[in-house]
Amino acid sequence: MKEVVAGIDIGGTNIVFGLVDRDGEILADGVLTTSDYPEFPEYVAAQVKGIKDLLAINSGLKLISIGIGAPNANYYKGTIELAPNLSWKGIIPLGAAISELSRVPVTVTNDANAAAVGEMIFGGAKNMKDFIVLTLGTGLGSGIVVNRQIVYGYTGFAGEIGHLTVVPGGRICGCGKQGHLETYASATGLVRTVSELLGTMRNDTPLRDIAPAKLSSKMVANYAQQNDPVALRAIEYTAELLGLGIINSIAFSSPEAIFLFGGLAQAGEMLLEPVRHYVDKNIMPIFRGTCKIIPSAIPENTAAVLGAAALAWNERS
Amino acid sequence: MKEVVAGIDIGGTNIVFGLVDRDGEILADGVLTTSDYPEFPEYVAAQVKGIKDLLAINSGLKLISIGIGAPNANYYKGTIELAPNLSWKGIIPLGAAISELSRVPVTVTNDANAAAVGEMIFGGAKNMKDFIVLTLGTGLGSGIVVNRQIVYGYTGFAGEIGHLTVVPGGRICGCGKQGHLETYASATGLVRTVSELLGTMRNDTPLRDIAPAKLSSKMVANYAQQNDPVALRAIEYTAELLGLGIINSIAFSSPEAIFLFGGLAQAGEMLLEPVRHYVDKNIMPIFRGTCKIIPSAIPENTAAVLGAAALAWNERS
């Protein structure tokens, strides 16, 4: 029997899961639609059945543990707590419920921490002791690794680089406070920057013909590639604030690398090059050139399942 | 024979050292004048002789190791690197030289990290897994502890909270960059704030009769206690920026407590109360009330030797 773990990624739209071996190969996978399970116990039953079905049709595999990436997850307690994008309200005993029905150990953390463990076990950080993963999507999530351990802190919620204050008194954040990094350096932050710039700049640009609610970070990146002046300036400003957040993160934990992942990171070198330039110019001299700023080595389409599976494998090492 | 370690704190003016038992009692101590030893090998000989002299006059003690707190110290290499306030230039093999002559293991780190280990072994953090010590002196030093380990990072220089950017484009820092926390939240930062406020405010105050170079943070604190409006506003502004640095530190590593230590911290509740108020008001809700902001539990006059000794004891645990 070959030992495998199950990796589960719970999102607001889909729940993806898969059986993963020690080398990071996904041997079988499945998907549930989150809205099909408004009641938590029904989800637990369907999830464990989904995993057992995968085991049934793939003979010779032995499930030894389960890792789960989920929003607002508490690693210490194995719970999901007050997640705004899920219908399961209050404090949900996710780890305990899945473990009881599946009869294997379950580890739970948030998706950005799972991405960091994925990078450490299967990706670009296999040989690194200290590194950070930033997930640039709708918001900005982060997983901080120090001495090959995720930083959870006293509360279990450490690693909120998206909520570093980079512009005191600045943009209103989803958390209710102001000037946080994720209000600038994220897909939605980039779109907000375009709106601001359409006010401050006078240039003629097709961006004025698009309702902000219809605008995506990908569209802004495409206009920037066509040398649209507002889109170019928006990318540059995003890079500056992301650079500032990165500089502060390096002063704190001095990582060997910062990996960028997620929708906005797909802008690639157009975003990374000005970020590196800003960091080089503004970082304190002792840290200059010490930290690589690079894309994640985990493919976007398998990252969620691999990160969650890496979490399970990591607990056994 | 009772086992003891030696703790050594190397400063620009004095080098203090002592023999310390496992309970944090200083059984004997001594002091060298830094300027008496312009050549490093002479210092090494005098230092090891100083420790041996203490052992000779205190019978029944067995030296098992040495811990050293020093400026610009690299924990990984045991070196002092390019310290601007010492006459020993370049990269100094401090740990190797002291170990060779004393024939015991030597551990070296910077003074803020030593203070954090002191807090963990002998002070208020004995039962804490995650905490931070901020030393508010001429500059702002910090020691960050995650999972009961000092965060050294890839370079060995992690934990530079004093160099977090809190005012983009703000005051010039000693490191050459701008807007760093220590240019505001330190003894010298407070004096710089008074100078700025004497420009922006019109109030009549005795602070206008003191040359800035003669002004100390203690004098500013005294004037604030007498309700001087400029001194009061200076303390308040210092508290706000220290609070911002603390908020960003909590978002990063979610410590159970942040301990304040050093000259400026002696302003006590006059500084701490507005810091706590600012943090409570501006921190993201998930972290509100999770982190104590309190004075160090280690007395100022023994902290340097105890911190260095704690470093040595900690390596053996």
Q: Is B314's pLDDT higher than 80?
A: yes
Tens-place pLDDT, residues A40-80: 999 999 999 999 999 999 999 999 999 999 988 999 999 99
CA distance A291 to A260: 13
Chain B residues within 8 A of A244 when measuring between CB atoms? 165, 168
pLDDT tens figures, A81-134: 888 788 998 899 999 999 999 999 999 999 999 999 999 999 999 999 999 999
Residues of B in contact with A145 (CB under 8 A): none
Asked whether the beta carbons of residue A166 and residue B166 sit closer than 8 angstroms, the reply is no
pLDDT at B82: 83
pLDDT of residue B164: 97
pLDDT, one tens digit per residue, over B169-179 is 999 998 899 99
Partner-chain contact A244 B284, CB within 8 Å: no
Structure tokens at A107: 């580890």
Tell me the C-alpha distance between B317 and B306, whole Å: 16
Which residue type, as a one-letter code, is found at position B16? V
B144/A144 Cα distance (integer angstroms):
14
Q: Measured between CA atoms, how close is B50 to chain A, in angstroms?
A: 33
Nearest C-alpha neighbor of A304 from the set A11, A1, A3: A11
Q: Which residue of B has its CA nearest to A283?
A: B177
- Under 8 Å between Cβ of B195 and B214: no
Edge-to-edge, what's the strand order for the sheet holding B2-10?
B26-33, B14-20, B2-10, B61-69, B106-109
Going along A21-60, which residue ranges are E strands?
A: 26-33
Do the chains contact at A254 and B282, CB–CB below 8 Å?
no
Interface mutation target, options B82, B183, B248, chain A, most CBs of A under 10 Å = B248
Query: Using CB atoms and an 8 Å cut-off, which of residues 241-300 of chain B contact chain A?
Result: 244, 247-249, 251-256, 282-287, 290-291
Which residues numbered 104-143 in A keep a CB inside 8 Å of some CB on B? 128-130
With 90 as the cut, is the pLDDT of residue A265 above it? no
> B172 in contact with A at a CB cutoff of 8 Å?
no
Given this model, what pLDDT does residue B65 score?
A: 98
At residue B317 the predicted structure's pLDDT band, cuts being 50, 70 and 90, is confident
Contact status of B185 with chain A (Cβ, < 8 Å) = no
**Residue B154 belongs to what H/E stretch?**
none
Q: Which residues of B134-144 are buried (b: 16+ CB within 10 A; e: fewer)?
A: bbbbbbbbbbb
Among the partner-chain residues B129, B165, B249, the one whose CB lies closest to the CB of A154 is: B129
Question: Which residues lie below 8 Å from residue A251, measured CB to CB, with a gap of 6+?
Answer: A284, A287, B160, B161, B163, B164
ipTM of the complex: 0.93
pLDDT tens sequence across B112-154: 999 999 999 999 999 999 999 999 988 999 999 999 999 999 9
Pick the residue with more confidence: B262 or A197? A197
Average predicted confidence (pLDDT) for chain A:
95
Task: Supply the DSSP symbol for B180.
Answer: B
A165 CB neighbours in chain B (<8 A) are 244, 247-248, 282
CB spacing of A156 vs B254 below 8 angstroms: yes
Q: Give bridge partners of residue B292 from the DSSP assignment.
A: B257
Name the percent of chain B lying above pLDDT 90: 88
